[in-house]
Amino acid sequence: MNHVTVVICNYNYAQYLATAIESALAQDYPATHVLVIDDGSTDGSRAIIEKFGTRVSSLLKDNGGQVSAYNQAIEILDTEYVIFLDSDDVLYPGAVSEVMRFFAAGDCAKVQFRLDVMDGTGAPTGAYVPHNEPPADCRKLLLGGWLYPSPPASGNAYSVSALRRIFPVPEADINRYGADFYAIYGVALVGRVAAVGQSLGGYRVHNAGGATVAFANSEQLNRAPEAVNQRWAILRNIARARLQVELSPTFHDFALEKARFCSGVYRATLIERWRWMMRDSSHYLHTIVANPFWSLKKKLGTLVLSSMCLVPYSPLSDFVVRYIANPLARRRVAGR
């Protein structure tokens, strides 16, 4: 039987950490190991880890960021497979068993699965991520610069040997975070990506709700483009040096362009909205029209909604932006 480690990377999430650890320990796959890496927490997280005793392994390190935690974990892992579980998320009891069924059925570098979106209290919102399945050949599209649909960090299981062809990655400056970017897209250059068509865990959104454009817990909208552009450049260098693979100088990702769209038109004046759409929307529109993962219906619907940002009525424009950017806003409308 192949062994799996659930690695829980934590920094100052004491209020959620025990729940994450318990969900990893509750897995019904017998060869599941749990490793908790604490990245210099100051909020009592380490006392929580100690309470689990020998049921978990732990690595207590100085604060260095998520990338440093991934680098160290991948270096010391002694199992064939790994799931990186964020310390504010959870796995359902059968998650590892289902993932290992997919690994056993074929030669995969990664198995991804849906995550149900939870609010800050852990209550389900009715939404899930991602909404699209990855293509049969993620590598081919990635070589052309298209970032394939993937869940956040906690919704991915990896072959450790595949990860070691990508990691370690640089840890400095803005690259302290976003380790899952290199894992998610790097391993697709190494091997096949398989997808489980059901939710196997929960993704906690701390400010869950449809009244905001935010749908993430990390970088602010205005910092996301800079960070992801730098990560793509670093991944290109890694692919060239370690895999002898040449990635496109530029990449296409609707999630990133959506952040730019929100920054440009949300709560903006009519003149500012028109100016952004006329001058700066080309990449945003390209990731809709040329998107290889979307149906024609979805493309047309997104284009029509986007055009409604040009109406003179600001509340309608802002509602449309929230509807496009935040899946929870759509749930609110559907529930009325």
Is the Cβ–Cβ distance between 67 and 177 less than 8 Å? yes
Element (H, E) at 195: strand 192-204
Identify the pLDDT of residue 307: 97
Identify the pLDDT of residue 327: 78
Task: Give me the tens of pLDDT residue by residue for the chain, a chain 336 residues long.
Answer: 999 999 999 999 999 999 999 999 999 999 999 999 999 999 999 999 999 999 999 999 999 999 999 999 999 999 999 999 999 999 999 999 999 999 999 889 999 999 999 998 999 998 899 988 888 899 999 999 999 999 999 999 999 999 999 999 999 777 788 999 999 999 999 999 999 999 999 999 986 665 677 666 554 555 666 788 999 999 999 999 999 999 999 999 998 999 899 999 999 999 999 999 999 999 999 999 999 999 999 999 999 999 999 999 999 999 999 999 887 877 655 544
Report how far residue 304's alpha carbon sits from residue 314's, in angstroms, rounded to the nearest whole number.
17
Which of the listed CATH numbers 3.40.1390.10, 3.90.420.10, 3.40.50.970, 3.90.550.10 matches domain 4-243?
3.90.550.10
Full 3-state SS string of 74-141? HHHCCCCEEEEEECCCEECCCHHHHHHHHHHHCCEEEEEEEEEEECCCCCEEEEEECCCCCCCCHHHH
Identify the pLDDT of residue 217: 56
Tally of CB atoms within 10 A around 271: 8
Q: State the span(s) of the chain assigned CATH 3.90.550.10.
A: 4-243
Is the Cβ–Cβ distance between 62 and 40 less than 8 Å? yes
- Any idea what DSSP says for residue 240? I
